[in-house]
Chain A
Amino acid sequence: MAISFAGKTAIAGIGATEFSKHSGRTTLRLAVECCDAAIHDAGLTPGQIDGMVTFTLDDNDEIDVARSLGLKDVTHFSRLPYSGGAACATIHQAAMAVHTGACNYALVYRAFNERSEMRFGAGLQDLPDSPTPIMVDFGWCLPFGMLTPASWVAIVATRYMHEYGATSEDFGRIAVADRKHAATNPKAFFYGKPITLEDHQASRWIVKPLHLLDCCQESDGGQALIVTTLERARHLPRRPAVIAASAQGSAEEQNMMKSFSRPEITALPEMGICARQLWAASGLGPDDIQTAVLYDHFTPLLLPQLEEFGFCKRGEARDFIKDGAIEIGGRLPINTNGGQLGEAYIHGMNGVAEGVRQIRGTSVNQVPDVENVLVTAGTGVPTSALILQQPG
């Protein structure tokens, strides 16, 4: 087996900070400086960079580097493990990304203060440790009691309600649909336990406007999947769930659940980036989707997801979901396994598996005549989505 992209990609720019024993700067600053230099060396502008690859071990989160560089839409971001073993793997991964068209210009970086801040090596323990960018990011919310994802999502939900007139009952309709589907799924935690809108409204406050029943559960468990070429999959026992298209997305001023510095905070532009790529690559549109698995860690964020994919106009998702539209038998049944809220919270992977079952025709809540299934990943963060399709 040989890679198909041998000789097809190239390194077009390099850039570095000075190398020293004491940079006197944070690792984030070093990362941004070396990226800045590489972008400049390649004759590009930051806005042209749409891919980011680094080590799993790197403390400089893509979104922090992107924010200071001024990157726009990012459509590929990945990380490689095993410390120094990733040095060429990052290039390998970036090459795959640009070769496939997942991004045009991938930025690969690694930046640390491995001497002055002694992250690895037993050695001297008395040198000061600087907080990582993610710890600094949390510092803007933890001291104020905003400790949980529910509190951050509630900020978005309150603003969404203010801008578009959505109500708690609108969010409740998502929960009712999820739990209706979970109720007939023996693998679901809430098997046999549907809820009504009244149950939802009566459930206690977590963070207003989120009721308990607006929040997904917490679960133990594992979900795995095998991906291969369609050619090989046709020789395997199960009906292939063709990946019609897949995409990643991270947008300007992106944060982890707290993208509050954007002009508007009620949209999901990072999901919009995924939507555009999925429709363009697959040639499909919202009308071609028979069922969707939409990430439901918190119900309010399903509304902007529907809007980003064009199932309805911005601000109108609350009308789209009325009257059973998102339940079995409706226009777009969602989360037929019960979702993260109803089946289990396995970080969205069990949702991908349900998409596969809908293609195979083996879901307990099978939608008739499924051609295409949309699956989305976590909202409020740099994200991803895919469309699964019947094999031709």
Chain B
Amino acid sequence: MSAAGESEEKTAGNSELLERLRAVEGIFSVPRLTSDDVNVPMIRHWCQAMSDHNPVYLDADAAARSVHRGIVAPPFMLDGWLMLGLAPRVAQLSEAGEPVGLVPAMEMLDAAGFTSIIATSTTHEYDRYLRPGDRLRVRSAVTRVSPEKETALGLGHFVTASTELIDQHRERVGRVELAILKFKPGTGSVPTDFAGAAAPPPRPRPAISRDTRFFWDGIDQGELRIQKCKGCGTLHHPPVVRCPGCGAYDLGYVVSQGRGTVYSFAEIHHPQFPMFQYPLMGVLVQLDEGTRILSHMIATDPERVEVGMPVEVAIEAVEPDLKLPLFRPARPPRRETTLRFSEVKVGDRLAQCPVPITTTLIVSGAIASRDFEPVHHDLEMARQRGLPNIFMNIMTTGGLTGRYVTDWAGPEAIVRKMKIRLGIPNFPGDTMTYIGQVHAAEQRDGVGFVEVGVRGFNQLGDHVSGTLELELPLG
């Protein structure tokens, strides 16, 4: 179920409003120039926000040697090019001179009290990759308006718009279909804190002695420390008071890189204590430095936990005054070479990838996609609009989803389509984890066509699910 909780609960609604909305359905605007040509500064800004290090986007030499023969823009930026940023919204006109597209539809809905907005799904089609200097024109139409619906967020209308992007050679380079919910704030059933229940009772605190204080001081400072004997250099965890190897009492510590593998794990079901959430995945991690540490996992699909799985530490404030070293799946390294089609088969799984959701990620992603909707950067406005916090915009979700798949596929994979549907929003402080699986792989028209299904879930539920279609080199 999406956060919008789309249901078939039609209300009596306002049939006159609906008629006016539907009057613009299907009517495309006259193509207009985007405010900027495809350019490197925007590409850089996007890649930094998304942590997308695919060299074909920014490394001129690598891009020149690649199948693209030069720098290309991340395909997932597609609708960023047509965004107006903070420029005033101006309705686009049809050939007949009528205001059409999303702007008049939004104005009608705003006037009727449906002032809040949340994107629910988007589909991108990439006819070709864009290059710096491409000059784009866009034409768009509202393609569908739903009757008034009762959703978890409130009373609202679902509006779908389709936009085509055309280049300087008058060739179509891409298409974006975007579905949004325009709703009346405060009319929904979702509690504004989204978490629902009152704060649970506190967890048992670690007992800290003089001998172990160094460890917990480290955790407070965001460090995972391992005791190290100053005499012989042996590492000890849990800490000792005297090195059993050389007898030294002078014991220091090193800061662990925080990476390791699952040595063993145990999914706890019963009994259940009120300060934890179940099932709880207890884990014994073997740190790369050699010592082991007991903890629990976060941000993982429990089905995917196995002995040997790479993990990384996440020092989290589980309560305002309690930080703990928890573990999440390690972000898989970006493939430096591109997967060959022959290396892929249906059912192959992509390694889990955690994405910590920070305020900086939400805001930088929104600005990099030129989306200045206040709900993505202004806490007060988000609350007024019925959400408990600022939340990630759909283009950032798309950028991260695309990065996840292309990090797996390799720098020269050609993405042709991305289709995503949003669920629970991504709020700051949470972690979203991607999982993926190859759904289809077949040779078509001389290319290796692959379809990958992906899902990104956070603590509250599924944030995004969708598919990407891409081409891999044959052989």
Contact = CB atoms under 8 A, between A and B. Distances in A.
Interface of A: 25-26, 28-29, 32-33, 36, 46, 67-70, 130-133, 135-148, 151, 154-159, 162, 204-209, 212, 258, 260-261, 265
A68 B292 contact: no
Given A36-B242, A154-B268, 4 more contacts: A143-B204, A144-B295, A158-B264, A260-B292
Interface stretch (B150-158, B189-197, B233-241): B233-241
Contacts of A159: 263-264, 284, 307
Interface centre among A142, A144, A208 (most CB of B within 10 A): A144
B117 to A, nearest CB: 39
B429 interface: no
A148 B269 CA distance: 11
Contacts of A261: 236-238, 291-292
A27 B268 CA distance: 34
Interface stretch (B8-16, B52-60, B208-216, B375-383): B208-216
A139 B240 contact: no
Interface in B253-289: 263-271, 273, 276, 279-280, 282, 284
Contacts of B268: 145-146, 151, 154, 207
B88 interface: no
Nearest to B203: A143
A266 B156 CA distance: 59
B211 A144 contact: no
B170 interface: no
Nearest to B245: A70
A146 B208 contact: no
Interface in B206-246: 206-212, 236-238, 240-245
Nearest to A29: B241
A162 B291 CA distance: 20
Given A154-B282, A155-B282, A67 B240 contact: yes
A204 B270 contact: yes
A162 B267 contact: no
A300 to B, nearest CB: 11
Contacts, number: 144
A340 to B, nearest CB: 19
A151 B282 CA distance: 8
Given A69-B242, A207-B269, A261-B292, A143 B307 contact: no
A68 B240 contact: yes
Interface centre among B238, B322, B324 (most CB of A within 10 A): B238
A139 B212 contact: yes
B252 interface: no
Interface string B317-354: 00000101010000000000000000000000000000
A138 B275 CA distance: 17
B211 A29 contact: yes
Top 3 A-B pairs, shortest CB-CB distance: A70-B244, A154-B266, A131-B207
Contacts of B22: none
A136 B210 CA distance: 10
Interface residues of B, number: 46
Given A70-B244, A143-B324, A261-B291, A156 B273 contact: no
A147 B273 CA distance: 9
A132 B322 CA distance: 21
Nearest to B238: A140
Given A144-B296, A146-B296, A206-B270, A162 B206 contact: no
Contact of A136 (B212, B242, B293): B212
A207 B208 contact: no
B322 A143 contact: yes
A26 B307 contact: no
B203 to A, nearest CB: 5
Given A206-B270, A261-B291, A261-B292, A26 B324 contact: no
A144 B242 contact: no
Interface centre among B268, B280, B322 (most CB of A within 10 A): B268
A148 B271 contact: yes
Contact of A139 (B208, B245, B270): B208
Contacts of A46: 244
B460 interface: no
B268 to A, nearest CB: 5
B247 interface: yes
A141 B206 CA distance: 8
A137 B204 contact: no
B205 interface: yes
B202 to A, nearest CB: 10
Interface centre among A33, A204, A261 (most CB of B within 10 A): A261
7 contacts: A146-B296, A147-B204, A147-B273, A207-B266, A207-B268, A261-B292, A265-B263
B294 interface: yes
A136 B249 CA distance: 19
Interface string B422-439: 000000000000000000
B211 A26 contact: yes
A162 B244 contact: no
B236 to A, nearest CB: 8
Nearest to A262: B292
A206 B268 CA distance: 6
Contact of B211 (A28, A155, A156, A158): A28
A260 B294 contact: yes
A367 to B, nearest CB: 35
Nearest to A45: B247
Given A26-B211, A143-B205, A158-B266, A207 B237 contact: no
Given A68-B241, A145-B280, A136 B207 contact: yes
A67 B326 CA distance: 26
Given A28-B209, A144-B324, A205-B269, A155 B284 contact: yes
Given A140-B238, A143-B322, A154-B282, A258 B244 contact: no
Nearest to A135: B207
Given A67-B244, A208-B266, A260-B294, A146 B282 contact: yes
Contacts of A36: 242, 247
A43 to B, nearest CB: 15
Nearest to B277: A145
Contacts of A67: 240, 244
Contacts of A136: 207-209, 211-212, 238
Interface centre among A69, A142, A146, A206 (most CB of B within 10 A): A146
A25 B210 contact: yes
Interface centre among A46, A140, A145, A208 (most CB of B within 10 A): A145
A8 B240 CA distance: 36
Contacts of B245: 70
Contacts of A139: 205-208, 212
Interface string B152-185: 0000000000000000000000000000000000
B326 to A, nearest CB: 8
